[in-house]
Amino acid sequence: MEQEKDLKTLKIIGGIGSLLPFFSFFLKIGPLLGLVSSLLILFAMKELAEISGRREIFKNYLLYFILSLGVIAIIFLGFFGVLGVIGPGILLGAGKKAFLSALFKGGFVLVASFIAAWILGIVASYFLKKSFHEVASVFGVNIFEVTGWIIFLGAILVIVIIGAFLVFPLGNILMAVSFFSLPERFIQKGENQTQ
């Protein structure tokens, strides 16, 4: 039994969600825009999964979303850990040796949390890549697959800072192009889905 589904709204929701992070740098409500962006894309991916009947699309994206929240949590815990280790030494006026020891421990906590966040970020982006691969194969929009690979590569390259400032913004632009490239309508035919 054929069912025709309209994708116009999802194209807009996903595209806008992909572009919102660029405005978060210029506005004071940046973190709020980041959250709205993530929720818009999450909603769009859920709807794409339901329309196509491919639960893997949303399942993999949801794993990416949850693991990305874990990355943010690790980074915050790392910074608070550094403050917890260094702060008392500064506030209590510890001697030079105690201060240097606290500084070394704080550096270790910061580096360890960064490495843990980096590894978790790579794992998270792998699930994004899997989700986008599925979208590309179902809806015939191959730029989703390219976007997934670019973001995955960006997560790997974060360690050398290139990923954060060059590859991730490119990934977001390609994500917006991917969503805007979705077909206007999708016809679902039983087990075999086509555009």
DSSP per residue, 2-27:
EEEEE-HHHHHHHHHHHHHHHHHTTS
* Mean pLDDT score, 86-93: 65
Buried b / exposed e across 157-170, counting CB within 10 Å, b at 16+? bbeeeebeeebbee
Beta bridge partners of 194: 187
Q: Which residue has the higher pLDDT, 169 or 57?
A: 57
- The pTM of this model reads 0.86
The tokens of 7 are what? Answer: 């994708």
Average pLDDT value over all residues in the chain: 87
List the one residue out of 17, 33, 15 whose CA is nearest residue 25: 33
Confidence class for position 5, pLDDT limits 50, 70, 90: confident
Q: Rounded to an integer, what distance in angstroms lies between the CA atom of residue 114 and that of residue 175?
A: 26
Q: Is the pLDDT of residue 128 over 60?
A: yes
Confidence class for position 72, pLDDT limits 50, 70, 90: very high
Confidence class for position 160, pLDDT limits 50, 70, 90: confident
Give the residue carrying structure tokens 């179902």: 138
Q: Residue type for 175, please?
A: M
Q: Give residue 135's pLDDT.
A: 97
Confidence class for position 192, pLDDT limits 50, 70, 90: very low
Q: Give residue 65's pLDDT.
A: 96
Q: Where are the domains of the chain?
A: 2-183
DSSP notation for 140-165:
--THHHHHHHHHHHHHHHGGGTHIII
The tokens of 42 are what? Answer: 């999450």
49-58, 137-146, 154-163: the lowest-pLDDT one:
154-163
Percent of the chain having pLDDT more than 90?
58
Other C-beta atoms closer than 10 Å to the C-beta of 180 total 16
Q: Is the pLDDT of residue 193 over 50?
A: no
Q: Residue type for 110, please?
A: L
4-13, 24-33, 60-69, 91-100: the lowest-pLDDT one:
91-100
16-30, 39-53, 138-152: the lowest-pLDDT one:
16-30
Q: Rounded to an integer, what distance in angstroms lies between the CA atom of residue 78 and that of residue 91?
A: 20
Q: Is the pLDDT of residue 42 over 60?
A: yes
